[in-house]
Structure 1
Amino acid sequence: MSAARLWRILGMVLLSLSLLACGERPAEVDPTPQYSRQGKVETPVYVLAIHPLHNPARLFEVYGPLVEHLNRRIPALTFALEASRNYEEFERKLAQRQVAFALPNPYQTLQAMDHGYHVIAKMGDDAQFRGILLVRRDAGITQVSELRGRKVAYPAATALAATLLPQAFLRSQGLDVNRDIENLYVGSQESSILNVYLGRVAAAATWPQPWQSFQKTHPDQARELVVQWETAPLINNSVMVRDDIPAAHAERVAQELAELHTTPQGRALLAAMELTRFERADDARYDVVRDFIATFERTVRPLSAERAP
Protein backbone atom coordinates (compact mmCIF):
# COMPACT_ATOMS: atom_id res chain seq x y z
CA MET A 1 0.00 0.00 0.00
CA SER A 2 1.35 3.42 -0.92
CA ALA A 3 2.29 5.92 1.77
CA ALA A 4 -0.13 8.44 0.27
CA ARG A 5 -3.01 5.99 0.58
CA LEU A 6 -2.10 5.21 4.18
CA TRP A 7 -2.07 8.88 5.10
CA ARG A 8 -5.46 9.36 3.44
CA ILE A 9 -6.88 6.63 5.65
CA LEU A 10 -5.30 8.08 8.78
CA GLY A 11 -6.48 11.54 7.79
CA MET A 12 -10.07 10.33 7.56
CA VAL A 13 -9.83 8.79 11.01
CA LEU A 14 -8.28 11.92 12.53
CA LEU A 15 -10.98 14.07 10.91
CA SER A 16 -13.61 11.86 12.49
CA LEU A 17 -11.95 12.30 15.88
CA SER A 18 -11.85 16.08 15.39
CA LEU A 19 -15.57 16.17 14.70
CA LEU A 20 -16.21 14.14 17.82
CA ALA A 21 -14.09 16.50 19.89
CA CYS A 22 -16.19 19.39 18.65
CA GLY A 23 -19.38 17.63 19.68
CA GLU A 24 -20.38 16.56 16.16
CA ARG A 25 -21.16 12.97 15.32
CA PRO A 26 -19.89 11.51 12.05
CA ALA A 27 -22.21 9.56 9.81
CA GLU A 28 -23.15 6.12 11.06
CA VAL A 29 -20.46 3.55 10.32
CA ASP A 30 -21.37 0.65 8.06
CA PRO A 31 -20.24 -2.42 10.02
CA THR A 32 -19.56 -4.44 6.85
CA PRO A 33 -16.02 -4.38 5.39
CA GLN A 34 -15.36 -1.35 3.21
CA TYR A 35 -13.53 -1.78 -0.08
CA SER A 36 -10.85 0.36 -1.70
CA ARG A 37 -9.92 0.02 -5.37
CA GLN A 38 -6.27 -0.13 -6.39
CA GLY A 39 -6.23 -0.44 -10.15
CA LYS A 40 -8.50 -3.41 -10.84
CA VAL A 41 -8.08 -5.05 -7.45
CA GLU A 42 -10.55 -4.47 -4.63
CA THR A 43 -9.20 -4.91 -1.10
CA PRO A 44 -11.20 -4.78 2.14
CA VAL A 45 -10.38 -2.00 4.58
CA TYR A 46 -10.43 -3.38 8.11
CA VAL A 47 -10.60 -0.96 11.04
CA LEU A 48 -8.63 -1.88 14.15
CA ALA A 49 -10.03 -0.13 17.22
CA ILE A 50 -7.98 -0.01 20.42
CA HIS A 51 -9.50 0.77 23.78
CA PRO A 52 -8.27 4.03 25.36
CA LEU A 53 -4.87 2.90 26.61
CA HIS A 54 -3.69 6.45 25.82
CA ASN A 55 -5.17 9.70 24.56
CA PRO A 56 -5.89 9.54 20.80
CA ALA A 57 -2.71 11.36 19.74
CA ARG A 58 -0.47 9.12 21.83
CA LEU A 59 -2.38 6.01 20.73
CA PHE A 60 -1.71 6.84 17.06
CA GLU A 61 1.95 7.43 17.88
CA VAL A 62 2.28 4.03 19.61
CA TYR A 63 0.00 1.83 17.50
CA GLY A 64 0.18 3.56 14.11
CA PRO A 65 3.45 1.76 13.28
CA LEU A 66 1.81 -1.58 14.08
CA VAL A 67 -0.96 -0.88 11.56
CA GLU A 68 1.64 0.17 8.99
CA HIS A 69 3.42 -3.14 9.64
CA LEU A 70 0.23 -5.12 9.02
CA ASN A 71 -0.33 -3.21 5.78
CA ARG A 72 3.18 -4.03 4.59
CA ARG A 73 3.03 -7.67 5.62
CA ILE A 74 -0.50 -8.38 4.36
CA PRO A 75 -0.68 -6.37 1.11
CA ALA A 76 -3.91 -8.06 0.01
CA LEU A 77 -5.71 -6.26 2.87
CA THR A 78 -5.78 -2.71 4.18
CA PHE A 79 -5.90 -1.83 7.87
CA ALA A 80 -6.81 1.50 9.47
CA LEU A 81 -6.34 2.46 13.11
CA GLU A 82 -9.20 4.03 15.07
CA ALA A 83 -9.07 5.65 18.49
CA SER A 84 -11.97 6.43 20.82
CA ARG A 85 -12.54 9.42 23.09
CA ASN A 86 -13.34 7.24 26.09
CA TYR A 87 -14.23 3.73 27.21
CA GLU A 88 -17.94 4.23 26.67
CA GLU A 89 -17.46 5.16 23.02
CA PHE A 90 -15.16 2.20 22.42
CA GLU A 91 -17.62 -0.21 24.02
CA ARG A 92 -20.45 1.23 21.93
CA LYS A 93 -18.48 0.45 18.76
CA LEU A 94 -18.18 -3.16 19.84
CA ALA A 95 -21.84 -3.39 20.79
CA GLN A 96 -22.80 -2.03 17.36
CA ARG A 97 -20.22 -4.21 15.55
CA GLN A 98 -18.68 -1.16 13.91
CA VAL A 99 -15.09 -2.44 13.68
CA ALA A 100 -13.54 -5.58 12.19
CA PHE A 101 -10.69 -5.99 14.68
CA ALA A 102 -10.40 -4.73 18.25
CA LEU A 103 -7.99 -4.67 21.14
CA PRO A 104 -10.22 -4.51 24.25
CA ASN A 105 -9.39 -4.99 27.90
CA PRO A 106 -10.35 -8.38 29.42
CA TYR A 107 -13.72 -7.18 30.75
CA GLN A 108 -14.57 -5.63 27.37
CA THR A 109 -13.46 -8.93 25.82
CA LEU A 110 -16.32 -10.69 27.61
CA GLN A 111 -18.74 -8.00 26.46
CA ALA A 112 -17.54 -8.25 22.86
CA MET A 113 -18.08 -12.02 22.81
CA ASP A 114 -21.79 -11.28 23.33
CA HIS A 115 -21.74 -9.21 20.12
CA GLY A 116 -20.07 -11.77 17.87
CA TYR A 117 -16.36 -11.10 18.38
CA HIS A 118 -13.84 -13.85 19.07
CA VAL A 119 -10.34 -13.85 20.54
CA ILE A 120 -7.51 -14.63 18.10
CA ALA A 121 -4.52 -13.35 20.11
CA LYS A 122 -3.59 -11.48 23.25
CA MET A 123 -0.90 -9.27 24.64
CA GLY A 124 1.79 -11.21 26.48
CA ASP A 125 3.39 -10.15 29.75
CA ASP A 126 0.42 -11.07 31.94
CA ALA A 127 2.50 -10.22 35.02
CA GLN A 128 2.31 -6.60 33.91
CA PHE A 129 -1.49 -6.62 33.76
CA ARG A 130 -2.07 -5.35 37.27
CA GLY A 131 -3.42 -2.23 38.86
CA ILE A 132 -1.28 0.40 40.55
CA LEU A 133 -2.27 3.25 42.86
CA LEU A 134 -0.24 6.44 42.72
CA VAL A 135 0.05 9.16 45.35
CA ARG A 136 2.09 12.34 45.52
CA ARG A 137 5.46 11.89 47.22
CA ASP A 138 4.72 14.84 49.48
CA ALA A 139 1.23 13.62 50.48
CA GLY A 140 2.42 11.40 53.31
CA ILE A 141 -0.11 8.68 52.44
CA THR A 142 1.19 5.22 53.34
CA GLN A 143 -1.88 3.34 54.58
CA VAL A 144 -5.02 2.47 52.61
CA SER A 145 -7.08 3.66 55.58
CA GLU A 146 -5.76 7.19 54.95
CA LEU A 147 -7.84 7.33 51.76
CA ARG A 148 -11.08 7.17 53.75
CA GLY A 149 -13.23 10.24 53.08
CA ARG A 150 -11.06 11.33 50.14
CA LYS A 151 -11.18 11.17 46.32
CA VAL A 152 -9.60 8.50 44.13
CA ALA A 153 -9.32 8.85 40.34
CA TYR A 154 -9.70 6.08 37.75
CA PRO A 155 -9.75 6.20 33.94
CA ALA A 156 -13.21 4.58 33.58
CA ALA A 157 -15.72 2.50 35.48
CA THR A 158 -15.02 -0.51 33.22
CA ALA A 159 -11.20 -0.32 33.05
CA LEU A 160 -10.13 -3.71 34.38
CA ALA A 161 -6.47 -3.30 35.35
CA ALA A 162 -6.78 0.39 36.20
CA THR A 163 -10.15 0.38 38.00
CA LEU A 164 -11.61 -3.02 38.84
CA LEU A 165 -8.37 -4.53 40.15
CA PRO A 166 -7.56 -1.45 42.31
CA GLN A 167 -11.10 -1.31 43.69
CA ALA A 168 -10.99 -5.02 44.53
CA PHE A 169 -7.63 -4.42 46.24
CA LEU A 170 -9.01 -1.51 48.29
CA ARG A 171 -11.96 -3.67 49.33
CA SER A 172 -9.57 -6.43 50.42
CA GLN A 173 -7.81 -3.86 52.61
CA GLY A 174 -11.03 -2.97 54.42
CA LEU A 175 -12.13 0.06 52.39
CA ASP A 176 -15.70 0.11 51.08
CA VAL A 177 -15.32 1.86 47.72
CA ASN A 178 -19.05 2.61 47.59
CA ARG A 179 -19.15 4.54 50.89
CA ASP A 180 -15.66 5.23 52.25
CA ILE A 181 -14.20 7.14 49.29
CA GLU A 182 -15.38 9.28 46.38
CA ASN A 183 -14.67 7.57 43.04
CA LEU A 184 -13.93 9.85 40.07
CA TYR A 185 -13.94 8.30 36.58
CA VAL A 186 -11.93 10.85 34.60
CA GLY A 187 -11.88 9.43 31.05
CA SER A 188 -8.31 8.29 30.39
CA GLN A 189 -5.20 6.84 31.98
CA GLU A 190 -3.31 10.11 31.59
CA SER A 191 -6.15 12.08 33.17
CA SER A 192 -6.14 9.76 36.16
CA ILE A 193 -2.40 10.27 36.68
CA LEU A 194 -2.62 14.03 36.19
CA ASN A 195 -5.44 14.31 38.71
CA VAL A 196 -3.22 13.04 41.52
CA TYR A 197 -0.24 15.07 40.29
CA LEU A 198 -2.37 18.24 40.45
CA GLY A 199 -3.62 17.35 43.93
CA ARG A 200 -7.23 17.02 42.89
CA VAL A 201 -7.42 13.51 44.34
CA ALA A 202 -5.58 11.67 47.09
CA ALA A 203 -4.71 8.70 44.85
CA ALA A 204 -4.95 7.72 41.20
CA ALA A 205 -5.38 4.26 39.73
CA THR A 206 -3.76 3.16 36.48
CA TRP A 207 -1.65 0.23 35.27
CA PRO A 208 2.03 -0.20 34.31
CA GLN A 209 1.87 0.51 30.55
CA PRO A 210 0.48 4.07 30.75
CA TRP A 211 2.52 4.78 33.89
CA GLN A 212 5.74 3.80 32.10
CA SER A 213 4.71 5.93 29.14
CA PHE A 214 3.93 8.88 31.43
CA GLN A 215 7.35 8.60 33.04
CA LYS A 216 8.95 8.92 29.60
CA THR A 217 6.78 11.76 28.30
CA HIS A 218 6.39 13.73 31.57
CA PRO A 219 9.50 12.90 33.62
CA ASP A 220 9.33 15.99 35.86
CA GLN A 221 5.73 15.38 36.86
CA ALA A 222 6.32 11.63 37.27
CA ARG A 223 9.09 12.29 39.81
CA GLU A 224 6.50 13.93 42.06
CA LEU A 225 4.54 10.67 42.23
CA VAL A 226 5.12 7.24 43.73
CA VAL A 227 3.48 3.84 43.22
CA GLN A 228 2.13 3.21 46.71
CA TRP A 229 0.22 -0.03 46.07
CA GLU A 230 0.07 -2.73 43.40
CA THR A 231 -2.56 -5.41 42.82
CA ALA A 232 -2.17 -9.05 41.83
CA PRO A 233 -2.05 -9.57 38.02
CA LEU A 234 -4.70 -10.95 35.69
CA ILE A 235 -4.70 -11.97 32.01
CA ASN A 236 -3.68 -9.22 29.56
CA ASN A 237 -5.71 -7.49 26.82
CA SER A 238 -7.06 -9.52 23.91
CA VAL A 239 -7.10 -9.09 20.14
CA MET A 240 -10.52 -9.89 18.69
CA VAL A 241 -12.11 -10.28 15.28
CA ARG A 242 -15.74 -9.90 14.26
CA ASP A 243 -17.37 -13.20 13.30
CA ASP A 244 -18.12 -12.21 9.68
CA ILE A 245 -14.47 -11.57 8.79
CA PRO A 246 -12.98 -14.42 6.68
CA ALA A 247 -11.09 -16.89 8.85
CA ALA A 248 -8.06 -16.68 6.55
CA HIS A 249 -7.81 -12.92 7.13
CA ALA A 250 -8.09 -13.31 10.89
CA GLU A 251 -5.43 -16.03 10.80
CA ARG A 252 -2.98 -13.76 8.96
CA VAL A 253 -3.40 -11.03 11.54
CA ALA A 254 -2.95 -13.46 14.43
CA GLN A 255 0.14 -14.92 12.77
CA GLU A 256 1.76 -11.53 12.21
CA LEU A 257 1.12 -10.47 15.78
CA ALA A 258 2.43 -13.71 17.25
CA GLU A 259 5.66 -13.43 15.22
CA LEU A 260 6.46 -9.79 16.00
CA HIS A 261 8.95 -10.67 18.74
CA THR A 262 11.02 -12.80 16.34
CA THR A 263 12.50 -9.88 14.35
CA PRO A 264 14.35 -6.69 15.35
CA GLN A 265 11.73 -4.55 13.61
CA GLY A 266 8.92 -6.33 15.40
CA ARG A 267 10.64 -6.03 18.77
CA ALA A 268 10.96 -2.28 18.20
CA LEU A 269 7.21 -2.04 17.59
CA LEU A 270 6.53 -4.03 20.74
CA ALA A 271 8.91 -1.88 22.80
CA ALA A 272 6.88 1.22 21.89
CA MET A 273 3.85 -0.56 23.37
CA GLU A 274 5.77 -1.46 26.56
CA LEU A 275 5.29 -5.09 25.52
CA THR A 276 7.56 -8.07 24.75
CA ARG A 277 5.17 -10.15 22.63
CA PHE A 278 1.70 -11.04 21.45
CA GLU A 279 0.48 -14.63 21.87
CA ARG A 280 -2.09 -16.84 20.18
CA ALA A 281 -5.25 -17.14 22.28
CA ASP A 282 -8.93 -18.06 22.14
CA ASP A 283 -12.13 -17.25 24.02
CA ALA A 284 -11.53 -19.91 26.66
CA ARG A 285 -8.42 -18.11 27.91
CA TYR A 286 -10.70 -15.42 29.34
CA ASP A 287 -12.78 -17.72 31.54
CA VAL A 288 -10.57 -16.55 34.42
CA VAL A 289 -11.96 -13.06 33.86
CA ARG A 290 -15.52 -14.34 34.20
CA ASP A 291 -14.56 -15.73 37.59
CA PHE A 292 -12.98 -12.43 38.65
CA ILE A 293 -15.99 -10.39 37.50
CA ALA A 294 -18.40 -12.66 39.37
CA THR A 295 -16.42 -12.18 42.58
CA PHE A 296 -16.06 -8.43 41.98
CA GLU A 297 -19.80 -7.93 41.52
CA ARG A 298 -20.54 -9.96 44.62
CA THR A 299 -18.02 -8.24 46.90
CA VAL A 300 -17.31 -4.76 45.49
CA ARG A 301 -20.03 -3.31 43.25
CA PRO A 302 -22.33 -4.34 40.37
CA LEU A 303 -21.16 -3.76 36.81
CA SER A 304 -24.39 -4.38 34.91
CA ALA A 305 -25.21 -0.65 34.86
CA GLU A 306 -21.82 0.11 33.32
CA ARG A 307 -22.24 -2.09 30.25
CA ALA A 308 -22.47 -0.43 26.89
CA PRO A 309 -25.87 -0.53 25.12
Structure 2
Amino acid sequence: MTPLRFLTGPVGAARADAAARFAKELARRTSRPVDLRPTAGYGELLDAVLDRGADFAWLPPAVLVRAEELAGVTPVLAGIRANDARFRGAIFVRADAALTELDQLRQGRVAWVDRNSCAGYLFPRLFLRSQGWDPDQDFASQAHYGTHGAVVEAVESGVVDAGATFVHQEDAEVVGTGWGLSGANDRVRVLALTEPIPADAIATLEATPRAVREVVAEAIGTMHADPEGRAALAGLFGVQRFEPTLPARYDAVRSAMRASG
Protein backbone atom coordinates (compact mmCIF):
# COMPACT_ATOMS: atom_id res chain seq x y z
CA MET A 1 0.00 0.00 0.00
CA THR A 2 1.27 3.48 -0.87
CA PRO A 3 2.41 5.33 2.26
CA LEU A 4 0.86 8.59 3.39
CA ARG A 5 3.57 11.21 2.89
CA PHE A 6 3.69 13.70 5.76
CA LEU A 7 6.06 16.70 5.90
CA THR A 8 7.10 18.66 8.98
CA GLY A 9 9.51 21.47 9.75
CA PRO A 10 12.60 20.96 11.91
CA VAL A 11 12.11 18.25 14.53
CA GLY A 12 15.61 17.75 15.92
CA ALA A 13 17.09 14.80 17.74
CA ALA A 14 15.09 15.52 20.90
CA ARG A 15 11.79 14.90 19.10
CA ALA A 16 12.87 12.11 16.73
CA ASP A 17 11.24 9.44 18.89
CA ALA A 18 8.09 11.55 19.14
CA ALA A 19 7.93 11.85 15.35
CA ALA A 20 8.20 8.08 15.02
CA ARG A 21 5.49 7.61 17.66
CA PHE A 22 3.10 9.94 15.83
CA ALA A 23 3.75 8.22 12.49
CA LYS A 24 3.05 4.84 14.08
CA GLU A 25 -0.16 6.11 15.70
CA LEU A 26 -1.40 7.70 12.47
CA ALA A 27 -0.63 4.50 10.55
CA ARG A 28 -2.60 2.47 13.08
CA ARG A 29 -5.62 4.74 12.82
CA THR A 30 -5.65 4.98 9.02
CA SER A 31 -4.53 1.41 8.24
CA ARG A 32 -1.84 2.85 5.95
CA PRO A 33 1.93 3.17 6.36
CA VAL A 34 3.12 6.71 7.06
CA ASP A 35 6.29 8.23 5.66
CA LEU A 36 6.99 11.21 7.94
CA ARG A 37 9.78 13.45 6.67
CA PRO A 38 11.14 16.34 8.76
CA THR A 39 12.84 19.20 6.91
CA ALA A 40 15.78 21.32 8.04
CA GLY A 41 14.02 24.68 7.97
CA TYR A 42 11.07 26.71 6.79
CA GLY A 43 12.55 27.29 3.34
CA GLU A 44 13.15 23.59 2.75
CA LEU A 45 9.65 22.81 4.05
CA LEU A 46 8.07 25.26 1.60
CA ASP A 47 10.18 23.91 -1.27
CA ALA A 48 9.13 20.34 -0.48
CA VAL A 49 5.47 21.36 -0.50
CA LEU A 50 5.92 23.19 -3.81
CA ASP A 51 7.56 20.07 -5.24
CA ARG A 52 4.37 18.18 -4.34
CA GLY A 53 6.48 15.95 -2.13
CA ALA A 54 3.71 15.04 0.32
CA ASP A 55 0.03 14.37 0.88
CA PHE A 56 -0.06 16.36 4.13
CA ALA A 57 2.20 18.87 5.86
CA TRP A 58 2.44 20.44 9.30
CA LEU A 59 2.95 24.10 8.44
CA PRO A 60 3.66 27.25 10.44
CA PRO A 61 1.11 29.95 9.54
CA ALA A 62 3.26 32.04 7.20
CA VAL A 63 4.54 28.98 5.32
CA LEU A 64 0.93 27.84 5.06
CA VAL A 65 -0.15 31.12 3.46
CA ARG A 66 2.75 31.06 0.97
CA ALA A 67 2.05 27.42 0.10
CA GLU A 68 -1.64 28.21 -0.25
CA GLU A 69 -0.84 30.93 -2.79
CA LEU A 70 1.79 28.96 -4.71
CA ALA A 71 0.62 25.35 -4.52
CA GLY A 72 -3.05 25.36 -3.58
CA VAL A 73 -2.67 23.70 -0.18
CA THR A 74 -5.65 23.80 2.18
CA PRO A 75 -5.51 23.93 5.99
CA VAL A 76 -7.71 21.26 7.55
CA LEU A 77 -6.70 21.20 11.23
CA ALA A 78 -5.30 23.85 13.60
CA GLY A 79 -3.27 23.12 16.72
CA ILE A 80 -4.77 23.86 20.14
CA ARG A 81 -2.39 24.76 22.97
CA ALA A 82 -3.44 26.16 26.32
CA ASN A 83 -7.03 25.80 25.07
CA ASP A 84 -6.43 28.32 22.30
CA ALA A 85 -5.76 28.17 18.56
CA ARG A 86 -3.63 31.30 18.81
CA PHE A 87 -0.26 32.33 20.19
CA ARG A 88 1.85 35.51 20.28
CA GLY A 89 5.28 36.63 19.29
CA ALA A 90 7.63 37.91 22.00
CA ILE A 91 10.66 40.18 21.80
CA PHE A 92 12.85 39.06 24.68
CA VAL A 93 16.25 39.76 26.27
CA ARG A 94 18.47 38.14 28.88
CA ALA A 95 17.11 38.45 32.41
CA ASP A 96 20.25 40.32 33.48
CA ALA A 97 20.24 42.74 30.52
CA ALA A 98 20.33 46.46 31.26
CA LEU A 99 17.48 46.93 28.78
CA THR A 100 14.16 47.50 30.55
CA GLU A 101 12.16 49.26 27.82
CA LEU A 102 11.71 48.55 24.15
CA ASP A 103 13.11 51.90 23.03
CA GLN A 104 16.43 51.04 24.71
CA LEU A 105 16.82 48.33 22.08
CA ARG A 106 17.32 50.87 19.28
CA GLN A 107 20.66 50.28 17.55
CA GLY A 108 20.86 46.93 19.26
CA ARG A 109 21.48 43.50 17.71
CA VAL A 110 18.45 41.31 17.11
CA ALA A 111 17.98 37.63 16.24
CA TRP A 112 15.05 36.50 14.11
CA VAL A 113 14.02 32.92 13.38
CA ASP A 114 13.18 33.02 9.67
CA ARG A 115 11.46 35.39 7.25
CA ASN A 116 8.60 32.87 7.14
CA SER A 117 8.20 32.79 10.92
CA CYS A 118 5.20 34.68 12.30
CA ALA A 119 6.31 34.79 15.95
CA GLY A 120 10.00 34.90 15.13
CA TYR A 121 9.92 37.65 12.49
CA LEU A 122 6.72 38.91 10.83
CA PHE A 123 4.54 39.87 13.79
CA PRO A 124 7.35 41.33 15.97
CA ARG A 125 8.41 43.56 13.07
CA LEU A 126 4.80 44.57 12.49
CA PHE A 127 4.51 45.41 16.19
CA LEU A 128 7.70 47.50 16.05
CA ARG A 129 6.35 49.47 13.08
CA SER A 130 3.17 50.16 15.07
CA GLN A 131 5.43 51.68 17.76
CA GLY A 132 7.13 54.02 15.32
CA TRP A 133 10.15 51.86 14.53
CA ASP A 134 11.73 51.16 11.18
CA PRO A 135 13.21 47.71 11.86
CA ASP A 136 15.50 47.90 8.86
CA GLN A 137 17.06 51.14 10.09
CA ASP A 138 16.72 51.08 13.88
CA PHE A 139 18.74 47.94 14.62
CA ALA A 140 22.52 47.87 14.40
CA SER A 141 22.28 44.33 13.02
CA GLN A 142 19.73 41.64 12.23
CA ALA A 143 20.38 37.93 11.72
CA HIS A 144 18.22 34.90 10.96
CA TYR A 145 19.04 31.78 13.02
CA GLY A 146 16.65 29.26 11.49
CA THR A 147 15.03 27.85 14.65
CA HIS A 148 13.54 29.18 17.87
CA GLY A 149 16.12 27.28 19.90
CA ALA A 150 18.99 28.89 18.01
CA VAL A 151 17.52 32.35 18.63
CA VAL A 152 17.28 31.65 22.36
CA GLU A 153 20.88 30.43 22.41
CA ALA A 154 22.07 33.59 20.61
CA VAL A 155 20.35 35.79 23.19
CA GLU A 156 21.61 33.76 26.16
CA SER A 157 25.17 33.77 24.89
CA GLY A 158 25.18 37.53 24.35
CA VAL A 159 25.82 37.29 20.62
CA VAL A 160 22.70 39.45 20.19
CA ASP A 161 20.83 41.82 22.49
CA ALA A 162 17.33 40.52 21.79
CA GLY A 163 15.45 37.85 19.94
CA ALA A 164 11.93 36.92 18.88
CA THR A 165 10.07 33.68 19.53
CA PHE A 166 6.62 32.35 20.43
CA VAL A 167 4.57 32.57 23.62
CA HIS A 168 1.43 30.65 24.57
CA GLN A 169 -0.85 32.14 27.20
CA GLU A 170 -3.86 30.83 29.13
CA ASP A 171 -5.91 33.45 30.98
CA ALA A 172 -3.01 35.90 30.50
CA GLU A 173 -0.59 33.48 32.18
CA VAL A 174 2.41 32.34 30.13
CA VAL A 175 2.27 28.55 29.80
CA GLY A 176 4.66 27.82 26.93
CA THR A 177 7.52 29.66 25.21
CA GLY A 178 10.34 29.25 22.74
CA TRP A 179 12.89 29.69 25.53
CA GLY A 180 11.07 27.14 27.66
CA LEU A 181 12.12 24.47 25.17
CA SER A 182 15.70 25.19 26.24
CA GLY A 183 14.91 25.38 29.95
CA ALA A 184 15.72 29.10 29.97
CA ASN A 185 12.58 30.33 31.74
CA ASP A 186 14.51 32.11 34.49
CA ARG A 187 17.25 33.41 32.23
CA VAL A 188 15.25 35.65 29.87
CA ARG A 189 12.44 38.19 30.12
CA VAL A 190 9.93 39.75 27.74
CA LEU A 191 10.14 43.31 26.43
CA ALA A 192 7.05 43.18 24.22
CA LEU A 193 4.29 40.89 23.00
CA THR A 194 2.62 40.98 19.60
CA GLU A 195 -1.02 40.68 18.64
CA PRO A 196 -2.42 37.11 18.58
CA ILE A 197 -1.28 34.86 15.72
CA PRO A 198 -3.37 31.94 14.39
CA ALA A 199 -1.90 28.54 15.15
CA ASP A 200 0.08 26.25 12.88
CA ALA A 201 -1.95 23.86 10.76
CA ILE A 202 -2.09 20.41 9.27
CA ALA A 203 -2.62 21.11 5.57
CA THR A 204 -3.43 18.90 2.63
CA LEU A 205 -2.03 19.26 -0.86
CA GLU A 206 -4.24 19.88 -3.85
CA ALA A 207 -3.70 16.44 -5.39
CA THR A 208 -4.57 14.51 -2.22
CA PRO A 209 -7.86 12.64 -2.84
CA ARG A 210 -10.85 13.86 -0.83
CA ALA A 211 -11.39 10.44 0.74
CA VAL A 212 -7.81 10.39 2.01
CA ARG A 213 -8.15 13.92 3.37
CA GLU A 214 -11.23 12.95 5.32
CA VAL A 215 -9.72 9.79 6.79
CA VAL A 216 -6.53 11.52 7.92
CA ALA A 217 -8.33 14.59 9.27
CA GLU A 218 -10.61 12.33 11.29
CA ALA A 219 -7.67 10.28 12.58
CA ILE A 220 -5.65 13.30 13.74
CA GLY A 221 -8.69 15.27 14.88
CA THR A 222 -9.74 12.50 17.28
CA MET A 223 -6.27 11.40 18.37
CA HIS A 224 -6.52 13.30 21.65
CA ALA A 225 -9.37 11.07 22.82
CA ASP A 226 -7.09 8.35 24.25
CA PRO A 227 -3.78 8.35 26.16
CA GLU A 228 -1.65 6.99 23.29
CA GLY A 229 -3.00 9.59 20.90
CA ARG A 230 -2.58 12.46 23.35
CA ALA A 231 1.03 11.45 23.97
CA ALA A 232 1.73 11.32 20.21
CA LEU A 233 0.26 14.79 19.66
CA ALA A 234 2.00 16.36 22.65
CA GLY A 235 5.35 14.78 21.85
CA LEU A 236 5.67 15.95 18.25
CA PHE A 237 3.43 19.00 17.96
CA GLY A 238 3.19 20.20 21.56
CA VAL A 239 -0.60 20.43 21.21
CA GLN A 240 -3.53 19.31 23.33
CA ARG A 241 -5.46 18.48 20.17
CA PHE A 242 -6.21 19.61 16.63
CA GLU A 243 -9.52 21.16 15.59
CA PRO A 244 -11.03 21.72 12.12
CA THR A 245 -10.04 25.01 10.53
CA LEU A 246 -10.63 27.11 7.41
CA PRO A 247 -8.38 29.41 5.33
CA ALA A 248 -10.12 32.55 6.68
CA ARG A 249 -8.53 31.92 10.09
CA TYR A 250 -5.20 33.05 8.58
CA ASP A 251 -6.32 36.46 7.27
CA ALA A 252 -4.22 38.22 9.94
CA VAL A 253 -1.14 36.40 8.63
CA ARG A 254 -1.91 37.46 5.07
CA SER A 255 -2.18 41.07 6.25
CA ALA A 256 1.13 40.86 8.13
CA MET A 257 2.87 39.40 5.08
CA ARG A 258 1.53 42.14 2.83
CA ALA A 259 2.69 44.77 5.32
CA SER A 260 6.17 43.25 5.44
CA GLY A 261 6.52 43.51 1.68
User: For 1:291, what is the secondary structure of its paired residue?
Assistant: helix
Cα distance in 2 for partners of 1:213, 1:70 equals 27
Matched, 1:232 2:190: no
Amino acid at match of 1:195: A
Change (3 A) 1:132 1:64: farther
| Structure 1 residue 285, shift from structure 2 partner | 3.0
Change (3 A) 1:93 1:178: same
Cα distance in 1 for partners of 2:97, 2:246 equals 44
Task: Give the corresponding residue for 1:151.
Answer: 109
* TM-score, normalization by structure 2: 0.87
User: For 2:111, what is the secondary structure of its paired residue?
Assistant: strand
| Structure 1 residue 59, shift from structure 2 partner | 4.1
| Structure 1 residue 143, shift from structure 2 partner | 1.0
Contact 1:162 1:205 in 2 (8 A): yes
User: For 2:149, what is the secondary structure of its paired residue?
Assistant: helix
Cα distance in 1 for partners of 2:102, 2:112 equals 16
Cα distance in 2 for partners of 1:246, 1:188 equals 33
Change (3 A) 1:83 1:171: same
| Structure 1 residue 154, shift from structure 2 partner | 1.2
Task: Give the corresponding residue for 1:24.
Answer: none
Amino acid at match of 2:186: R
Task: Give the corresponding residue for 1:37.
Answer: none
User: For 2:71, what is the secondary structure of its paired residue?
Assistant: coil
Q: Which one has the largest radius of gyration?
A: 1
Task: Give the corresponding residue for 1:38.
Answer: none
Cα distance in 2 for partners of 1:229, 1:198 equals 20
Task: Give the corresponding residue for 2:160.
Answer: 201
Contact 1:144 1:173 in 2 (8 A): no
Identity of aligned residues (%): 28
Matched, 1:167 2:103: no
Query: What does residue range 1-309 of structure 1 map to in structure 2 within 5 Å?
Result: 43-52=1-10, 54=11, 56-75=12-31, 77-113=32-68, 114-125=70-81, 126=84, 128-181=86-139, 182-208=141-167, 212=177, 214-215=179-180, 218-219=182-183, 221-272=184-235, 273-294=237-258, 296-297=259-260, 302=261
Change (3 A) 1:283 1:213: closer
User: For 1:251, what is the secondary structure of its paired residue?
Assistant: helix
Once structures 1 and 2 are overlaid, which stretch shifts more, 43-52 or 204-213? 204-213
RMSD: 2.2
Cα distance in 2 for partners of 1:234, 1:137 equals 25
Q: What is the total number of aligned residue pairs between the two structures? A: 250
Once structures 1 and 2 are overlaid, which stretch shifts more, 183-192 or 238-247? 238-247
Contact 2:79 2:241 in 1 (8 A): yes
* TM-score, normalization by structure 1: 0.74
Contact 2:110 2:161 in 1 (8 A): yes
**Structure holding more strand per residue:** 2
Contact 1:195 1:201 in 2 (8 A): yes
Runs (5+) with no aligned partner, structure 1:
1-42, 303-309
Amino acid at match of 2:250: Y
Q: Deviations over 1:126-167 (max 9, x none)?
A: 464211122111112111111111111011111112211111
Return the structure number with greater relative CO, CA threshold 8 A, min gap 6. 2
Q: Deviations over 1:46-68 (max 9, x none)?
A: 2211123x5x3234244332221
